Structure 1
Amino acid sequence: MEQYLQLCQTILAEGTVKNDRTGTGTKSMFGYQMRFDLSKGFPLVTTKKTAMRLITSELLWFIKGDTNVKTLIAERNHIWDEWAFEKWVKSEEYDGPDMTDFGRRAAQDDQFQQIVDQQMTIFREKILTDDKFAEEYGDLGPVYGRQWRSWPSKDGQSIDQLKNVIESIKQNPDSRRHIVTAWNPSEVDQMALPPCHTFFQFYVADGKLSCQLYQRSADVFLGVPFNIASYALLTHLIAKECNLEVGDFVHTLGDAHIYSNHMDQVNEQLSRQPRELPTLTISNDKKSIFDLETSDITVDGYDPHPRIKAPIAV
């Protein structure tokens, strides 16, 4: 994963200090590209422990067209909790402690972090046990899963982009139109978080499937390791579906940034020596990627350095 570490080093050395939507502040650069040869190992960051189970369950959540955090919370995946939680604590129904700017405040105040944790526990329990509450506050709007599987068309129908692109790869592998987009301008304002990984394209050559992702906004410490592994996994899954080998994953970043409260963590990670990449195993029991469960996908030989904690900017 030298490519990822080089990205971190480049931003630290050449990035511009900028303000951002969250009020945290970043060091940022615009336009950066990494390439990973998927035949040489699965690109899961080894300089800190990265939870493959969470990456897998989130990707399968997208693939199934789901947009409600209830599914993820039931699988002990809390990647999206903060955005749904924010919707609840800003509502008239919420009557607990003041949660204004809870992400940044909790990062600076351990006592307030405990209060947030208590309220988050209440929120998750209500999501799992109260269907009406989950429908109201668990749904994130028309985020990735909706756009991938049910893009609204002008005739009132919907377009299954993911299923269509798989069929296109099978039937017309040399096409230059193997594209899925999550950026829907007419629905961006309805999303809890506008898509960061905005569109991706597949390319077939020499019996191998490659994928290029354009990511408009890239949280380099927390988000990018997940994004690399997620789209590498998606490439593997679709290659298997289409009876192809894997080629490259090309990751193109727009605004690539390190948050100001992640600098120490990035430097700690850069002090560590990368280890050998793991390998990916996909069960042969399911015929379609749309039927896969988290337990059907495993990585073998993953021996990372310990996890490095950092606050998320909401």
Structure 2
Amino acid sequence: MKVFLIAAMSADGKIAEQEHQSSLDWTSTEDTQFFVEKTKEIGTVVMGRKTFATIGKPLKDRRLIVMTANPDSQAGGEGVEFTSNDPATLVGRLQAEGCEQVIVAGGASVYGQFFAAGLVDEVFLTVEPVLFGQGVPLATDFGRVNLEFVAARQLNSRAIVLHYRAQRSFMKPVAERTPDHQYRNLLKKIMEEGVDVKPIQGEGSRMILGAQMHFSLENGFPMITERDLSGRFMVGALGEHFAFLHGARTQEELKAFGCAWWKRWVTKERCDIFGLPEGDLGPGSYGPAWTAFPTAEGKQIKERPNLRTHIISPWIPQYTIQHAELPPRKVVVAPCHGYLHVLVFPETKQLSVHHFQRSGDIPVGVVFNMIQYAAFTMMLAQVTGYTPKELVYTISDAHIYESQFEHVKELLAREPRPFPTMMLDSNVKDLLDFRPDHFTLTDYDPHEAMVIPTPV
């Protein structure tokens, strides 16, 4: 079901100079002709009661549906239907009837309802050469909508039609999202029930075995709100992920993608231990593993979506296993995350990812990994033609280091807020073409930023 929106507006963004004003009073004849042509082409037209009142009659050769709170008390003549359905219910009903496309024709409240519901696919805006300085805005009571330019058409010497494609969000409106407590509950469980251990990092930690979180992506992008991870933090997380998708294994390659935090792990002293040059993560690291086998490009998903073998692994045993009878392993940090099982549901055109992490620093590393694999789920869904559904996040060794305990107490004192909205540039069709500027984060309302230490 495709939903179009058509409107005429002044150069300062008003669809009328005053309430109850018909666009016929101030728009050009060519715009009226365009409206008739486009609405006849689509066939089914939806508008609000006030807009219908400015027309006052059925639209010839078109099905007209008028949205109103009191459909039983209305009269509009043959070819006019009145409904109290909300946009989502109306679109669902029309789709069930076999209707393939509908065009929304006003007014501001109805436009806003369709935008807020995330139902609009394409927009046609006629811009007339007049400034009202006041009046009725294009739409009301909706959040940000990103538009992609498709084309422009000059109607006459003065007016122009702008054609845009709207980026539909599969996420609920922010007001309908439920604050997610899974991350906070995991921190609390480790602090209260965890086992104290002494890992190889030389600093004690508290851990539990086998933690799992389920993130329904319609409830927002799983980027924690207990502390601010926007800006350079988010860019660094995405940059690291893109670098590894491209096979990066050195500090310089990671920096080129916007990730600068590996320097402490690839010093000369640490690399010497594994017989690697300074700045080299090694052939057993994420990038070489992900690119050594043709698993990340999505071809199998497109051709055989029902398979249960859409698996990506960062683990190359001969480079990561170590004991006295073997030479030093060929990786500075054995891959902690990045074990992925992609589940595809062709019947509903949805895609989910189950991510497994062998070792997770919950206050620091995991929050950035959550960003990476939620983004990956969205990226893979986009390039394979599916809607992202769920990120299931499993951690085998989930731990908090002793130096992080006080910071965690502060995090636990902060109440989670609704997850933000993340939008992708829909023009990107290849997994390897994504970059941080193809991601737009909105509706993010975190607590203040916090820098938390982590041992090397």
Partner Cα separation in structure 1 for residue 316 and residue 343 of structure 2: 23
Verify: 1:227 aligned to 2:227, yes or no. Answer: no
1:139 and 2:280 matched: yes
Check conservation: 1:168, 1:178, Cα contact below 8 A.
yes
Which of 225, 246, 259 is matched with 1:77 structurally? 259
Q: How far apart are residue 64 of structure 1 and its match?
A: 1.2
Post-superposition shift, 1:72? 2.9
Separation in 2, partners of 1:28, 1:233: 27
AA at the equivalent of 1:17: D
What residue in structure 1 maps to residue 236 of structure 2? 54
- Displacement after TM superposition at 1:272 (Å): 0.6
Q: Choose between structure 1 and 2: higher helix proportion.
A: 1
- Once residues 9 and 72 of structure 1 are traced to their aligned partners in structure 2, the CA distance between those partners, rounded to angstroms, is 33
Alpha-carbon distance in structure 1 between the residues aligned to 2:415 and 2:338: 32
Which residue, 195, 217, 224 being the options, matches 2:359?
217
Higher RCO (C-alpha under 8 Å, 6+ residues apart): 1
With normalisation by structure 1, the TM-score equals 0.79
Rounded Cα–Cα distance in structure 1 between residues aligned with 2:201 and 2:271: 19
8 Å contact from structure 1 (residues 43, 228) kept in 2: yes
Opposite residue 204 of structure 1, the aligned amino acid is V
Instruction: Read off the aligned partner of 1:138 and give its amino acid letter.
Output: G
Q: Which runs of 5+ in 1 are unaligned?
A: 93-134, 151-158
Sort the Cα spacing of 1:75 and 1:146 in 2 relative to 1 into closer, same or farther, 3 A: closer
Look up the SS of the partner of 1:39 in the other structure. helix
**Which of residues 320, 330, 333 is equivalent to 1:193?**
333
CA contact (8 A) 1:211 1:248 kept: yes
Shift of 1:84: 1.3
The structure with the larger Rg is 2
SS at match of 2:446: coil
Residue among 377, 392, 399 paired with 1:257: 399
Q: Do residues 246 (structure 1) and 388 (structure 2) align?
A: yes
Deviation at 1:74, TM superposition (A): 4.1
Correspondence 1:67 to 2:249: yes
Query: Which blocks of at least 5 consecutive residues in structure 2 are unaligned?
Result: 1-179, 321-328
Deviates more, 1:23-32 or 1:60-69: 60-69
Offset of 1:75 from its aligned partner?
5.1
Deviations along 1:93-148, one digit per CA (max 9) or x if unpaired, are xxxxxxxxxxxxxxxxxxxxxxxxxxxxxxxxxxxxxxxxxx94222112111111
Corresponding residue for residue 274 of structure 1: 416
> Secondary structure at 1:12's aligned position in 2?
helix
Q: Deviations over 1:37-96 (max 9, x none)?
A: 0111000011101121111111111111111111333455322121112xx14578xxxx
1:168 and 2:300 are equivalent in the alignment: yes
Cα root mean square deviation, aligned = 1.6
Secondary structure, aligned partner of 2:317: coil
Identity %: 32
Residue aligned with 1:186, SS: helix
The separation in 2 between residues aligned to 1:224 and 1:269, in whole angstroms, is 14
Q: Which moved more, 1:278-287 or 1:175-184?
A: 278-287
Distance 2:450 2:216 in 1: 26
Q: Distance in 2 between matches of 1:238 and 1:137?
A: 33
Q: Flag as ranges the 4+ runs of structure 1 deviating above 4 A.
A: none
Q: Which residue of 2 aligns with 1:103?
A: none
Q: Which AA in structure 1 matches 2:264?
A: E
Instruction: Count matched residues.
Output: 260
Q: Tell me, in whole angstroms, the C-alpha distance in 2 between the residues paired with 1:177 and 1:90.
A: 36
Task: Return the alpha-carbon distance in structure 2 between the equivalents of residues 5 and 276 of structure 1.
Answer: 13
- TM-score, scaled relative to structure 2: 0.55
